[in-house]
Structure 1
């Protein structure tokens, strides 16, 4: 989840116009146009790729997960059979969530000789994928491929861009962990570490963004190579930081002002890197991207509404980080099956990393 600051709403109209018109752009060997060609349609929203897979497409960058890509990932990544869950507990945030989304309600009741249960919760409360009808271009009020507000909450019961479409094949492929937090702590062991590594706080997005230079440095430190169609997963230390805070500390953060959290920096080089390589982007933080944004756009707008790129939030990456260190390998086979609920805005990730 991302908090949009008012200044962004005033800046975005200069970047976005309302009516798309297509233009032909050559595709590379991976079937995508160059980043410099975005937006694909003149008049389309900033950096959008509407129409790349057809005007009615609801998969977006998941189209990159072809059978060949998935088969190659299973062959290269499944070596030991070790499985690691990436699912944070559904009730991990306790009685009051960090972003004021209530709590997980769980009621067990007798139903004759057996028991049934009822779950009552916000789908953004624990580890989840955002669907393509969760977040639009704010000024334009357009979701992926031009879908409008009325298509999401109108009277026609439309399910367009709902997460159920992803349930047909799942989010499955080669996962790559960027263990920023372990790398950052390693930098502190140096004789004269950079001050920014000491100051880094996953609960302060204004001063603790993760840059493209950081991501590349972590990948180099890990010895991890990126391939087209990978699923990027970034560990910032947010969930473990949350787990280590008292309820009073969490409440104090909530009262201190707009929600702030670390994440990927919103820069054009970062967006180019994501566009050229990944089928989905996720992390252990509440919004994947640093919040508030320090740029004139947000990743939620471009990734979800512009590219149709799934964003995964609040992943539990602690066991994954430990297993990656043990195996000295930060890539793995990822399998994630979202719920089949037509029109849903998000889903639990139901994710396993297989080494």
Structure 2
């Protein structure tokens, strides 16, 4: 159980614990927004990556059976036209010594291609605070390392991944949709998808198959749709103004919030630009809860196509996963 100093909130959670508070039972933190779960220490920048302990990683390694490597990152220049008006990737070759030595030069907005949303990316809107109480001044200060993603890189990300291939499930059950348009994938949708794959998506504490520290993958079909589109269609969709942008993703709803919190995922990953359904149909965003309040990293625009095919082939949707954020 989390350690406590006898006050309202525990001073620091034990990453090795086998039980953590549910969302409805989160103890309040003086001065923090409601539902903040900043219990990994006053200077923590890992959030729920703390759950990736050596014990859990060793258990995840035992999932390796075939030894097949499945890269999950899109090329740096994909999409060629990034969404939300962000700068496109630029690559040039620098000649250091003619005919002998050459260097690569990159100009990269880290929201282009496959990415991790760091804790400095999205604040809790009402309080304008980032994870563990960081402020915009902390994010912009060159002398501050609060919410810096280098903490994730030096810690490492590895563990037990679990794929919910909603796009495949929807296709098999005649629930056709366009991943380039708004669709809110509800918890009941994911539960039905899980059942079709033989997975009970409830947390282990409730009798399900989700383990503390799992890394959740949700396939919406964005990458498949992108590669099936013409260059003109890709550019047209990406060039939509921010207020017109729309993608399929995880729903903003109370059931989803409770599940994402109570399952104690170390991180969540999707194949679309926003992970959650865009635009939000509520007055809040899942980004606020996941990043700012709970410290759950969000992976976006990951290439899950080959992974999905291998999962079907092997008839298992649980696997060992490793990721190396930019240091």
TM bracket (short chain) = 0.7 to 0.9
User: Is residue 2:183 matched to residue 1:213?
Assistant: no
CA contact (8 A) 1:266 1:290 kept: yes
- The alignment's TM-score, normalised by the length of structure 2, stands at 0.88
Q: Who is 2:296 aligned against?
A: 309
Q: Who is 1:64 aligned against?
A: 51
Unaligned 5+ runs, structure 1: 1-21, 189-196, 341-355
Instruction: Give the distance between the partners of 2:159 and 2:193, measured in 1 at CA.
Output: 21
Instruction: Give the distance between the partners of 2:96 and 2:136, measured in 1 at CA.
Output: 40
Q: Who is 1:204 aligned against?
A: 181
Q: Who is 1:258 aligned against?
A: 244
Q: Secondary structure at the match of 2:111?
A: coil
Q: Secondary structure at the match of 2:247?
A: coil
User: Is residue 2:80 matched to residue 1:78?
Assistant: no
User: Is residue 2:152 matched to residue 1:166?
Assistant: yes
Q: Secondary structure at the match of 2:74?
A: coil
Q: Who is 2:22 aligned against?
A: 34
Question: Offset of 1:209 from its aligned partner?
Answer: 0.9
CA contact (8 A) 1:175 1:331 kept: yes
Q: 1:245 aligns with which of 212, 217, 229?
A: 229
Instruction: Give the distance between the partners of 2:191 and 2:109, measured in 1 at CA.
Output: 34
Q: Who is 1:47 aligned against?
A: 35
Question: Offset of 1:260 from its aligned partner?
Answer: 1.0
Instruction: Give the distance between the partners of 2:23 and 2:40, measured in 1 at CA.
Output: 16
Q: Which has the higher contact order (CA 8 A, sep 6+)?
A: 1
Matched pairs, number: 304
Question: Offset of 1:314 from its aligned partner?
Answer: 0.2
Instruction: Give the distance between the partners of 2:270 and 2:71, measured in 1 at CA.
Output: 14
Deviations 1:53-93 (A, max 9, x none): 11211110111111111111111x11111111101111121
RMSD: 1.9
Instruction: Give the distance between the partners of 2:126 and 2:168, measured in 1 at CA.
Output: 38
Q: 1:104 aligns with which of 63, 66, 89?
A: 89
Deviations 1:278-323 (A, max 9, x none): 1100110101101111123211111111111100000000000000
Unaligned 5+ runs, structure 2: 1-6, 200-208
